[in-house]
Every structure is written in structure tokens, then in C-alpha cells.
A and B are shown apart, each in its own frame.
Chain A
Amino acid sequence: MQYVPNIRIVEMPCSGTIDHRVLLQAFEDGADGVFVAGCMEGDCHFQKGNYRARKRVNAVKKLLDEIGLGGERLEMYNLSAAMGPRFAEIANEMTERVRRLGPSPLKKQSAGTMEKEGDVA
């Protein structure tokens, strides 16, 4: 199993932990895209964390739309720990999407570190 090498991963105990600010900070720092990978719906190890995460992600997407960055740069995915191939699929899918959207206008540097999407798992 292989996927594009421009994904950086931040480990969290549960997608439900992730705060709005963390997501926004990643964009502010220069991420072109962010995706949150949570457990399958109904399968949260901590009961309902992934539902909370989806709500928050949706709220931040709206915000990104409002400020003109585009909610498409942020996405929530549900998959289980045994779904390696699906993760690769998502990584590639998200990379394609971000390439299509072009570099983030918030990016402080040009070239060099481009095409790095932070993702939060």
C-alpha cells in the first residue's frame, strides 16, 4: 500500500478532541488542506467523539467558506484502523482536491515547502 508523500500526521486520542482553533491554526500556518480521520460512525471507541468532530469540522468548513479560503480544503472522513487502503485512497483524493484548488492564499512562503497538507488523525 502506497500513497502520496505530502501528508503530515498529527495523532489525537479521538477525533472528538480536536478544537476549532487547531484546525484554523493549521491553515494559518500554511497548510493547503486538512483532513480529520475519525472512526466509522457508530463505531467510536469513545462512544460519540466522531459525531462531535463532524459537527466541528462542518462549522469550520463554513467559516473557511466565509473567509474565502474555501471549506473544501477541510474534510472529515470516517474509517477504521483496519482500513489502510481506504486511508491511502483518502490521502490521494484529498491531495488531488488540494492540487486542483491551488496553494493556500494564506501561505506565508512560496515554493519550497509547498504541497504539504497537514492532516489530523
Chain B
Amino acid sequence: MSAEKTGSVLVVGAGIAGIQASLDLAESGYYVYLVEGSPAIGGTMPMLDKTFPTNDCSMCILSPKLVECGRHLNIKTYTCADVVDVQGEPGNFTVTIRQRPRYVDVDKCKGCGECAEACPIDVPSEFDQGIGERKAIYKPYAQAFPNAYVIDKENCIECGACEEACQAGAIDHSMEEETIELKVGAVVLCPGFEKFDASKLAYYGYGRYPNVLTSLEFERILSASGPFQGHLVRPYDKKEPRRIAWIQCVGSRNCRVEHGYCSSVCCMYAIKEAVIAREHSKEPLEITIFYMDMRTYGKGFEKYYERARNEQGVRFIRSRTYEISEVEDESKNLRIRYAQEDGSICEEEFDLVVLSIGLEPSSSIKELGRKLGLTMNEYGFAEPAPLTGVGTNKPGIFVAGAFSGPKDIPETVMQASAAAGASASLLAEARGTLVKEKEFPPEKDVSGQPPRIGVFVCHCGVNIGGVVKVPEVVEMAKNLPNVVYAGEYLYACSQDSQAAMKQIIEEYDLNRVVVASCSPRTHKPLFQETVREAGLNRALFEMANIRDQCSWVHMHEPEKATEKAKDLVKMVVAKAALLEPIPQVSAGVTKVALVIGGGVSGMTSALSLADLGYRVHLVEKEQQLGGVARRIKQGLKGEDIPSFLSDLIARVTTHPNIQVHVGTEVQAVAGYVGNFVTTLTDGQEVQHGVAIIAIGGEEYKPTEYLYGESDRVFTQLELEEALAGGDPRIENARTFVLIQCVGSREPQRPYCSRVCCAKSVKLALKLKEKNPAVNVFVLYRDIRTYGFLEDYYLEARRKGVVFIRYDSANKPLVEKGDSALKVTVTDHVLGVPVVIDADVIGLASAIVAPESNRQLSQLFKVPLNEDGFFLEAHMKLRPVDFTSEGIFMAGLAHGPKNLEENIAQAKAAAGRASTILGKDQLESHGVVAVVQQDKCAACLTCVRLCPYNAPKIRNYAAEIEPLLCQGCGTCAGECPNKAITLQGYKDRMQMAMSRALFREV
């Protein structure tokens, strides 16, 4: 009999997956140990310039998560650390970690960079993919957490220069390796991927030709934080390229180098890089992408591709290039010889060639996987347990991110939330047992008191002090109105300075605190915590950024920089005098979930939450559970779907925490996060804290290819059912034609339905399995068997399934023949028509959003995208959240996905929902907008503008729900009668700042 379960989780790998899983778990009541091999968390995302399909700046969207993860009270991060062993059983594992020496004390290091300035050794920067340089003591990237340097002992010459330069005394060359043992209840593995070594394909000349780069190198070139500050130049001669080619599938879809799988992300990232490169280039840029099948299968991807092709002038050439040769002059330009689709040969010159390198599992994690006894696939990726999304063959060990197969950021984040949810369900009984909560002294009441401001000016080592004359700033500050204390600190953020600050607040009876130092982005929460510990409300703190915005950017003008620093302090002090405490608004949480949709996704979400101990109402409009999965007979890996489904339904219907409502729909929704009241069409009223929308999708009813006119034309789902049911039309057929993209990738439905290529390949294999003598033709536009699905595509070709590619401008023609259906399509290689007498035609018809999406969108006030699917809060980092808090989505309602992916998303939605249900009280997000009701004319401007549905009209005046308000202040800016103000950013504060700046004190 096992002991009680442990309420902590080990997360291995601190890329976006590890960060997301850690945050979800910590927010849901579990203590997290986050172990990362490199010196900083962040993984690959910080290296990327922009992200598809939104072109968001990668660092910008990641940075808040880095800060949140780094600061979280219930996440303990180990960097430079490896997991050596995991022993035990689900609920109780003992983990051994090897902590490699960093040679820099993370607690003492302030990240000021003086040590690196002093270090004489230049090393190619891993972060910049070797294009730029770093020192032997370095911080991987500017926003890294921990914000601390690390010594690379392989390159360090132990000259001692860094030790001398470090004023914080953080450097310790004598650190040694340590072994740490941890007790955890579950393990989430998300170690990410490594990039394919392009020099393995010698014919592309990577490593020999200076103007052949990898896609990740190109990201660094594009990046504003990269070696060329975002100027698009060739590393070889710093000249701006005019013609760039991308070559796809470098290290993917390549059996010769045992990388037979598709890396899933390269088509999209190549298009993104191409589009961004054009934006970066001052001169016109010719862009060419050489590809085989354009795999833009994700949400919003197809439109991104179409836009690149039709509007942004990216040229797409369907050809796998044979070789790259170098032009024989000093330009070292590159020549590519390639075959066009008709077989004619072209040769073109390019200034730069970018190799779209694939993803592969890292060798160290393969080793760990073997040690843990995980099932790995032939390529060394983890093989998730079927239809679990995140499970492995080892109970209690979950996987997320590219470790379980190449995937993009949204899917990685989704899987991470799912793995967090699955771990949480496993450890439900231990929830909340190991998490800590910070205790603070009661807040002092400062109302009515005249402002007593303390100003703390930071030297930041020599970062500020080396340029700005800090003592002068302090002297000036002492003379400002309301200032009762001003002092200077070597590092304001160090432990001892923090202690001093608390003491001075006490001693001088300060009721406002100003720190003049670095960026509020990284340090404001830290200082706010300190003032809170001293009994002041967090809002009574303000920062002046005299480093990033002053000393760093005016390094050569110390006089003017000092002037500016004084001004900045003056302004912030003026604002500080007006600061008011902001009370945290909180509300209780109804620990009940409403899940709408009784298909696989909805049931999976419901079960996950029910296993966590929350009550769940599951609403299904039909009379029985199961949804569209009732029509699916086999999963993509051959799983028995009917038995999976009946098992799932049994678990849902017998679960004590789940109440199933069939034959009903949602009629009305009221309330907000934590406290919703939903009325069902059967009149029942449900109180719930969160809602998950998982109402599924529908199969498009084709109007093309004689569907409905001939009983031998089936949709994919119909064909699957007929095949399983022994339909004589199928049994007796000799020739099958499967037509792809029926209703998808069309002007009226410009998205890819994602699942149909793999589905048709599987159907073709099934037909061949039943009778190898049948002829199966698959007519396609691009085969999109991403990831390991590519293996099935290969298998189908080997089994004799014939694939013929058609263009949207030249679609197959289906006519009624004498006994069979006559299909005419042009062979893409031979260029002549192929006439096929088909006995059966299968149409891969699109997945469409159900009509009820629109209705639910109105009831919950959540948005749909142009295609009628629900629109997530953020395509990349919040793939299952709505912008409105407390409402989540899963499954086909979000967009086309296969069963396995839907299950992962359903678990992710549950995982995200549990971060709310896990709390007893919900607190507002710091600053919120408030309405002065007597000034409000109820003009509805705020109601119309707010993206979060926070303002409501009550008694002829607006009211802003603080739990929904995100604090952007758009309503305050726009309010015609100035009835709305944003806490901490009131107009009079800004005006006081400008007055302080221009009027001498």
C-alpha cells in the first residue's frame, strides 16, 4: 500500500512548455521543482524574432511569463541542473538532481554585467547561434531568469578579472557539483528539442559556404536583440541581401538520415521569416521558398500562407533542391539548380540561402528516457500513451512539448497545460499541502496623511553610477517637496538594501516610496513586495528608470544624463505625492465547472476537473454523449475508438462529481469569473466558477463531386462507417478515389481542416489491408501528414496507394459513367490526364464550426474568428483561454484537430480552469479602472470599447467589474466626461509629472 501522495511536481526543462506547466501547477495548489540544464529558463522562444501567425515579438510575449515563473513563491527553479534518476511510483517519486556549479552566486549577482566587461575571453554566443560573441562569464540573454551571470569553465582562464570587477562579491570559482534529492508526486518531462545539424547534408554546403545559414541563425539576424540589432545583413560581408531562398525539409522527411518524420513547424516559420525579412529590408527583397508540400495546417496558418503568396510577394516553388553551389567571385553568392514541376530545369542565383532545419530529440534526454524506461519511438522522441495527449507508459510521468514530437508553440503550451492538469488530477488529494503563502503585516492606514516620500537611488554597480552622478541626484531629491528621505545604494535590490529600506520606512514614517534604478518590468514587483512587508500598500510605490532609459542610452554624456536622471526622479516624486492605496478587490469562487459539449473533448475536460475534486455540470444538446467520435472507428494509430468512447462515457456518467445534462443547451449566462450563473433550456440554473466550451465541430456536406447525387460518393466519415459496417458498395469495390480539400482551403472556407490528409492515408491503408488488390488513388493539393503521421504517408506509398496532386485551378472532374464514376485528374509529374473508373469516391470534407458557436459566443460574450471558430486570448501563449477570464475552450470548437490533439486540449482547458477553481478568493489585477458614478452619463463608450466586457450599466451609470478589468485604461482615456480613471495612472498624476518637469521647484 502506497503512502500518502506528495503535493509537488517535478518539471524537467524550462522552455515555454516547462514554464507554462509550472505556472499552471503552482497556481493550482502544487509546489513545483523546475529543472533546467542551461543557465537560464526560456528555452528556444527567446531566440526567435517574431512568432507566427500573429507576428508577435517572441521575447515580448514570453517575458512576462519568465518574470512570473521566476518570482513564483511555489516554483523552485534549478538551472545548470540535470535529472539523474527518478525512482518510486506515481504519487511518490524520489528524484536525483545533479546541480552543476555556476561559479556565480545567484542570490548575490545583480546581473549588472561588470564581470563580462572585465572578462578578456570571447566565445561564440550559443544564444546568437555563433554569429555573435559572448564572454566566458555571461548571461545567456538580456531578460534571462535568473538574472545572473554564469562562468563557462571550458573557456575561462581563471584570470580573476571578473572577481575583481564584481562589486557584489557574487563570483566563486570554487563552487562544486552537488547532488540534490527531491520528493515529488508526479513528473512532467518537457525538455524540448535540438536542431538538426545541417552540415550532415553536405550538398547544401552549410559550414562551407558562409552565405548558407540555418533558420535559427536567420532568426537571430532578424532579431532586434541579435548580433546585428535586427538589420538584415549577411554575416559574411554585412551587406544587405537582395535575393533570399529558403530550403525546406532540411533534416525532415529524410529517410536517408533517419529523419523520416515531418518537423511540423518549418513551413510556417519559413513563411514568417520571409515575410519579416521583407519588412526589415529597406530595398526590395526577392524571396523564394523551395518546398514539397506546404504544411500550413494550424489555426490561421493557411491564410498566413495565402497572404504571403498573394500579397507579400513571396515566391513558392514546389521543388526539393538538389544542391547549392557557390558563385566563383567574392560575393560568394549561391546558385541553386532545381527542377520545376514539369521537369524543366532552372538555375538561379541568391545572395543568401536559409536552411529550414528540422527538430530532433536531444541526446541527453534520450538517455534519461531510456533510464526511466519510457517508450520512445524509432526517432528517439517520447511515445505518448494512446489517446491520453500527455501520458506515457510510466504512470505519473507525463510529457509535453517537442519531446513528444515536433510541434509549434500553441500546441506546446496546450500540451503543457494538459500535462499540468493530468499531474494535478493524479495528486488531487495532496493539493495545497506543500504550497506556501506569503504572510504580510496589516496595511497601515495612510489616508489623510500628508505625503512623506522616501527616495532610494541605485548605483547598479557602475551601470548607473558610472555615468549618472548619483550623489547629485540624491541631493536634488532631498530638496523636492514631500521628500523626507533620500539615499544612495550600490544595489537597491540586494538583500541588505531591502532590509535597510524596510527600516528607513519605519524610521522616517514614510508613506510613499520611490526607487530610482532599473526597469519596473523586472524589479517593480520586488520593491512592491518590500514596501508591503513594511506595512504599506503596494500602490504607494513608484519607480524612476534611470538605467535602461538614462545611463545606458547616454553613456557618453554624463552631464546630460545626470540632468535627465534628476528630471526623471523629480517627475516620479511628483507623481508619488498623488499615489493612493489601491485596495485589492476579491471575491469568493464557486468551485464548480460548467462544461458545454458532451463529446470526447468535453467529457475529457469534465473528467479531469472531476478527478481534481471539483463538481462538474456537463451539458450536451443531444440525447447521448459521444459527439462526432461516435462515427469514428479507428484512431490514427489504429486505436479502437468505439471501446475508448464507451469507456469514457461510463467513467463520466458514473463519476460522483459529474452531473450530466443531456438534451439541453445554454439559454442565458450571467456573472463573471468565479461566479457565473447559467440557465439551461430545461430551466435549470447552474452556479459555476468556470466554463469550458467544447461543443465540437461538424462535417461539411459537400455540394461538389456528385455528392448526394451518387450513392457511391461518401464523405470521409461516411466512408469510415461504411467500411466498418461491411457495406457491399465498399466490399465489392475495386477502385477507390479519395479527394482531399473538399470544402477546405477554398475562398469561402480559407482554412485547412488539418485531420483529413492523415485520415485519408489511414483509410487508404485500411482498404489496402482488407484487400491488397484494390486500387486506391488519393487526389490531394498538399499532403499534410505532419509530425510522425508522415510515416503513414510513406507506408501508404509503399503499399501501392497512388497519390496524384491537383491544383485548385484544375480540380478533378467527377462524372457519372456507365457502371462506375469517371474521375479525371492531371498527373502532376507526367502532366497528362489520368482517367479513373472509380467504384467509390471518398471526399475529405471540411470540418466546419457548428452554428451554435455563434449563439454561445453571444451568450458568453466571447469572440469567434472569421471562420466561426472560437478565438483564443492569444494564439501562442493562451491557446485555450478566452480574453474573458474564467472561460476556456477545447476541441473542434477552437478549430480542426485530431482526436489525440483534442484530448490534449481538453486536458489543457481543465488544467487552466483549475488555476481558478484552486483558489478560495480571486483578486483583481492590481490597477483597475474605476467610475465616478455621479459624473457618468451612461453613454456606453466604455461598454463598447472594453475588450474584456468589464463595464456594465447599472442604475444609469457604468460600473467596472474589477475582477474582469485588465487595467489598460482605454475606457479612462476615452470617457468623454472623465468619469473613469485608472488607478495609479490618473490624468492628474501625468499632469503633475509634466508640471514637475518644466516648472522649477
Partner-B contacts on A (CB < 8 A): 1-3, 5-14, 16-19, 21-22, 25-26, 29-31, 40, 42-43, 45-49, 52-53, 56, 80-86, 88, 108-109, 113, 116, 118, 120
Alpha-carbon gap, A30 to B549, bound state (A): 21
The number of inter-chain residue pairs (CB within 8 angstroms) is: 152
Alpha-carbon gap, A85 to B232, bound state (A): 13
Evaluate contact between B985 and A116: CB separation under 8 angstroms: no
Is B696 at the interface (CB under 8 A from chain A)?
no
Evaluate contact between A25 and B223: CB separation under 8 angstroms: no
Inside 8 A of A9's CB, which chain B residues have their CB?
A: 545, 549, 568
Evaluate contact between B60 and A52: CB separation under 8 angstroms: no
User: Which of B209-217, B554-562, B608-616 contacts its partner?
Assistant: B554-562
Is B160 at the interface (CB under 8 A from chain A)?
no
Do A43 and B56 contact each other (CB < 8 Å), given the known contacts A5-B557, A17-B982?
A: yes
Do A49 and B224 contact each other (CB < 8 Å), given the known contacts A16-B973, A108-B998?
A: no
Name B59's contact: one of A6, A14, A48, A82 (CB within 8 Å): A82
Evaluate contact between B564 and A83: CB separation under 8 angstroms: no
Alpha-carbon gap, A113 to B60, bound state (A): 35
Inside 8 A of A3's CB, which chain B residues have their CB?
A: 553-554
Inside 8 A of B55's CB, which chain A residues have their CB?
A: 42-43
Evaluate contact between B969 and A29: CB separation under 8 angstroms: no
Name A1's contact: one of B553, B947, B972, B987 (CB within 8 Å): B553
Evaluate contact between B54 and A48: CB separation under 8 angstroms: no
What is the minimal beta-carbon distance from B615 to any residue of chain A, in angstroms? 33
Alpha-carbon gap, A13 to B966, bound state (A): 10
Evaluate contact between A5 and B994: CB separation under 8 angstroms: no
Is B997 at the interface (CB under 8 A from chain A)?
yes
Alpha-carbon gap, A5 to B945, bound state (A): 37
Inside 8 A of B883's CB, which chain A residues have their CB?
A: 47
Question: What are 26 pairs between A and B in contact, CB < 8 Å?
Answer: A1-B553, A3-B553, A3-B554, A5-B550, A5-B557, A5-B561, A5-B563, A8-B564, A8-B571, A10-B993, A10-B994, A11-B520, A14-B968, A14-B970, A16-B970, A19-B990, A25-B991, A26-B994, A31-B997, A48-B947, A56-B973, A81-B63, A85-B230, A108-B998, A116-B997, A118-B997
Inside 8 A of A46's CB, which chain B residues have their CB?
A: 947, 966, 968, 970
Alpha-carbon gap, A108 to B999, bound state (A): 9
Alpha-carbon gap, A3 to B987, bound state (A): 28
Name A25's contact: one of B560, B966, B990 (CB within 8 Å): B990
Alpha-carbon gap, A56 to B971, bound state (A): 13
Name A8's contact: one of B56, B60, B567, B969 (CB within 8 Å): B567
Inside 8 A of A109's CB, which chain B residues have their CB?
A: 998, 1000
Is B995 at the interface (CB under 8 A from chain A)?
yes
What is the minimal beta-carbon distance from A24 to any residue of chain B, in angstroms? 9
What is the minimal beta-carbon distance from B54 to any residue of chain A, in angstroms? 7
Inside 8 A of B987's CB, which chain A residues have their CB?
A: 19, 21-22
Evaluate contact between B224 and A13: CB separation under 8 angstroms: no
Alpha-carbon gap, A9 to B550, bound state (A): 10
What is the minimal beta-carbon distance from B48 to any residue of chain A, in angstroms? 11
Evaluate contact between B970 and A48: CB separation under 8 angstroms: yes
Inside 8 A of B990's CB, which chain A residues have their CB?
A: 10, 12, 18-19, 22, 25, 120
Evaluate contact between A18 and B973: CB separation under 8 angstroms: yes
Inside 8 A of A31's CB, which chain B residues have their CB?
A: 994, 997-998
Cβ-closest chain A residue relative to B552: A1
Name B970's contact: one of A29, A42, A52 (CB within 8 Å): A52
Inside 8 A of A48's CB, which chain B residues have their CB?
A: 945, 947, 970
Alpha-carbon gap, A19 to B568, bound state (A): 21
Do A5 and B970 contact each other (CB < 8 Å), given the known contacts A12-B985, A52-B945?
A: no
Do A21 and B947 contact each other (CB < 8 Å), given the known contacts A82-B59, A82-B60?
A: no
Alpha-carbon gap, A21 to B972, bound state (A): 12
Known: A14-B968, A16-B969, A17-B970. 20 other contacts (CB 8 A): A3-B553, A6-B564, A8-B567, A10-B993, A12-B969, A12-B985, A13-B927, A13-B968, A21-B991, A25-B990, A25-B991, A25-B994, A25-B995, A30-B998, A42-B54, A47-B883, A49-B968, A80-B57, A113-B998, A118-B994
Do A86 and B973 contact each other (CB < 8 Å), given the known contacts A5-B560, A10-B994, A26-B994?
A: no
Evaluate contact between B972 and A19: CB separation under 8 angstroms: yes
Is B4 at the interface (CB under 8 A from chain A)?
no
Is B967 at the interface (CB under 8 A from chain A)?
yes
Is B974 at the interface (CB under 8 A from chain A)?
yes
Alpha-carbon gap, A40 to B993, bound state (A): 26
Is B225 at the interface (CB under 8 A from chain A)?
yes
Alpha-carbon gap, A49 to B967, bound state (A): 11
Evaluate contact between A29 and B57: CB separation under 8 angstroms: no
Evaluate contact between B985 and A13: CB separation under 8 angstroms: yes
What is the minimal beta-carbon distance from B999 to any residue of chain A, in angstroms? 7
Cβ-closest chain B residue relative to A51: B970
8 nearest A-B residue pairs (beta carbon): A17-B969, A46-B968, A16-B970, A47-B947, A5-B560, A30-B998, A29-B998, A5-B554
Within B35-59, which residues are at the interface with A (CB < 8 Å)? Answer: 54-57, 59
Is B229 at the interface (CB under 8 A from chain A)?
yes
Alpha-carbon gap, A80 to B60, bound state (A): 8
Alpha-carbon gap, A52 to B972, bound state (A): 11
Evaluate contact between B224 and A82: CB separation under 8 angstroms: yes
Alpha-carbon gap, A11 to B590, bound state (A): 37
Inside 8 A of B970's CB, which chain A residues have their CB?
A: 14, 16-17, 46, 48-49, 52
Do A83 and B230 contact each other (CB < 8 Å), given the known contacts A5-B554, A19-B973?
A: yes
What is the minimal beta-carbon distance from B710 to any residue of chain A, in angstroms? 46
Alpha-carbon gap, A1 to B568, bound state (A): 20
Alpha-carbon gap, A83 to B222, bound state (A): 11
Alpha-carbon gap, A118 to B987, bound state (A): 15
Evaluate contact between B973 and A53: CB separation under 8 angstroms: yes
